[in-house]
Amino acid sequence: MNIIIALIPAVCWGIFPLIASKTGGGPANQILGTGLGATLVGLIVFAIMHPTITASAFIWAFMAGACWTIGQIGQFISMKPERMGVTTTMPISAGFQLVGNSLIGMLFLGNWSGTTAKIIGLVALAIVVVGVILTAVTDDNKSESASVKDVLFLLVTTIGYWIYSSFPNLPAVRHVSPTALYLPEMLGILCGALIFVFATRETSALTARESWAGMIGGAIWGIAAFAYIFSAQENGTSSAFIYTQLSVVISTLGGMLFLHERKTSRELGFTLAGLVLLVVGSVITGFI
């Protein structure tokens, strides 16, 4: 049963970008649909579990959710076919998240205590970086400069993911029940989505069919986020995190199979090799 719980986030987060791409629309539609769907799940969870949360913890959780939208918007923009597509965006994004979160944990949160742990961790991150480089290999030489620009854009927006991931370790919320933080995070995501919609003057997204269809993907993401709470409790944080890395494989291969994103045989070989290294690096960091 514990394995099934652990696989729910992996599968849901793996198919989330595929559904978001299939429902159509631009990044404004996708992030708004995600915020609406995730908030719906958050409201249902709150109504069933009735968690108690302080005003301070609510504010911190809300801000963390809003920061998450920065990373997700960057991912949605990068997933567009004219930029990098799902099959390239997802493994690179996963690599950036793993490296950034691990370094933040080591430098500021006391993770990887001891010289041996730090050496093993840095070697694992080096493996992940090589994996990211391999998944970014392209045979389209004329778009090489654009690819570098797109990768840098994805890196900068990933800062939002880093903040969101580091949030549970803040002293202000470290001892607060994860279920209590869940709805405020989802509300923060919805607020961040609305800010993006109005800032980009994409207000037509508020009534667009694609935005409301995007609630399906948002609900799936929200279910995965909630299931991860229980996976971490039942399987331990390290094991739960390792299972979630299967989502990268699902989304990347799914992009080729269901979104029909084309890769040359050489690009495919590098992508598969990169995925293997990403998973290996993730497993190593999970056991430190």
DSSP string, 87-146: HHHHHHHHHHHHHHHHHHHHHHS--S-SHHHHHHHHHHHHHHHHHHHHHT--S-GGGHHH
Q: What is the pLDDT of residues 5-29, one digit of tens each?
A: 889 999 999 999 999 999 989 999 9
In this prediction, residues 176-205 reach a mean pLDDT of 95
3-state secondary structure of 257: helix
Name the strand (E) or helix (H) holding 52.
none
Q: What is the pLDDT of residues 57-71, one digit of tens each?
A: 999 999 999 999 999
Q: 234 or 150: which carries more pLDDT confidence?
A: 150
The residues, ordered by sequence, that sit 6+ positions from 104 with a Cβ below 8 Å of its Cβ are 162, 165, 166
The answer to whether residue 42 scores a pLDDT higher than 90 is yes
The answer to whether residue 240 scores a pLDDT higher than 80 is no
Look at the chain and report how many structural domains it folds into. Answer: 1
DSSP string, the chain: -HHHHHHHHHHHHHHHHHHHHHT---HHHHHHHHHHHHHHHHHHHHHHH-----HHHHHHHHHHHHHHHHHHHHHHHHTSTTTT-HHHHHHHHHHHHHHHHHHHHHHHS--S-SHHHHHHHHHHHHHHHHHHHHHT--S-GGGHHHHHHHHHHHHHHTHHHHHHHHGGGSTTTTTS-HHHHHHHHHHHHHHHHHHHHHHTT-GGGGT-HHHHHTHHHHHHHHHHHHHHHHHHHHH-HHHHHHHHTHHHHHHHHHHHHTS-----HHHHHHHHHHHHHHHHHHHHHHH-
How far is C-alpha 178 from the chain's CA centre? 18
What is the C-alpha separation between 258 and 12, in angstroms, rounded? 16
The domain containing residue 186 runs over which residues? 3-287
Question: CA angle at residue 267 from 262 to 270, to 5 degrees?
Answer: 135
pLDDT at 143: 47
In this prediction, residues 109-116 reach a mean pLDDT of 85
What is the C-alpha separation between 26 and 24, in angstroms, rounded? 7
Question: What are the backbone angles phi and psi of residue 158, rounded to the nearest 5°?
Answer: -65, -15
User: Amino acid identity, residue 205?
Assistant: A
pLDDT at 141: 55
How far is C-alpha 252 from the chain's CA centre? 13
Give the pTM: 0.90
Task: Kindly indicate the confidence band of residue 172, based on its pLDDT and cuts at 50, 70 and 90.
Answer: confident
The answer to whether residue 144 scores a pLDDT higher than 80 is no
The answer to whether residue 145 scores a pLDDT higher than 50 is no
- Tokens representing 238? 């390290």
